[in-house]
Structure 1
């Protein structure tokens, strides 16, 4: 079944479509399809926020009792190992920042500038694809939940 995302406003629809394409390409290890989808994600405002929500939801579902340092290390190592064969430019530091940000514990400090939006867009679909492999649920479920959380947060602010 294909999700059309017609019910979403245009900016959110663009994020959903680009994320779906990028994660699908990551799952298929299709570098040719991955690059244009990542470019779309990079250009989409707030894509990092939505994908961060997806990562958090996936982590919560795959680790219902919470995560410790060993769990984070295992997720990071598994993602890097499974990705490095077709994406040799995978940066473990960016993946770690994505994990820490999704968990709400990332603090760049004085000497550590956060990765730029292009680096986030290149790495988030890799992490999402890796985490999805453990759940057996479609990405659309997590995107819908992430959009709902973003909307709820915006209404509260």
Structure 2
């Protein structure tokens, strides 16, 4: 898995490796491996990690709904992800909401209590795993990094 990301700078590589391991552990329902990967993911820069995982979630939502999303689509995605993540302890539907709306560019207001980065790191791979279905994660992660790079170049 690490060899796929050697071309990335160290910070991006760490996000890629921890994310891929967390998604694979979620897919395998391996709680010990998931906890380990989430611990590493949660210890990385939350802004960078959020941009990468948010780009993956956004891409998955766009692929599922090429004609656009509405509130019912988001609610259905949320309900399915929460049900799918049911085996995992401490799954918080509100954190899943923050991940979904954040990936779509809708951000919480100043009045909302921010979600701790470790909670986001613990929930994002579960949401991604649910949205992935049987598709591979590596290709989407590569697309996310390319999208972020393009945005930085154009800024």
TM-score by length of 1: 0.91
Partner of 2:72: 70
Equivalent residue, structure 1, for 2:126: 126
User: What is the number of equivalent residue pairs in this alignment?
Assistant: 153
Q: Deviations over 1:71-108 (max 9, x none)?
A: 111111111111112x13001001001100111122x2
**How do 1:79-94 residues align onto structure 2 when only pairs under 5 Å count?**
79-85=81-87, 87-94=88-95
Gaps of 5+ in 1: none
- Deviation digits for residues 87-138 of structure 1, max 9, x if unmatched? 13001001001100111122x22431221211110100000000001xx431
The correspondence of residues 99-110 of structure 1 with structure 2, limited to 5 A, is 99-106=100-107, 108-110=108-110
Following superposition, which runs of at least 4 residues in structure 1 exceed 6 angstroms of deviation? none
1:146 correspondence with 2:134: no
Identify if the C-alpha distance between structure 1 residues 3 and 131 changes in structure 2 by more than 3 Å, giving closer, same or farther.
farther
C-alpha contact 1:94 1:115 (8 A) present in aligned 2: yes
- Alignment RMSD, CA only? 1.5
Measure how far apart 1:3 and its partner are.
Answer: 5.7
Unaligned runs of 5+ in 2: none
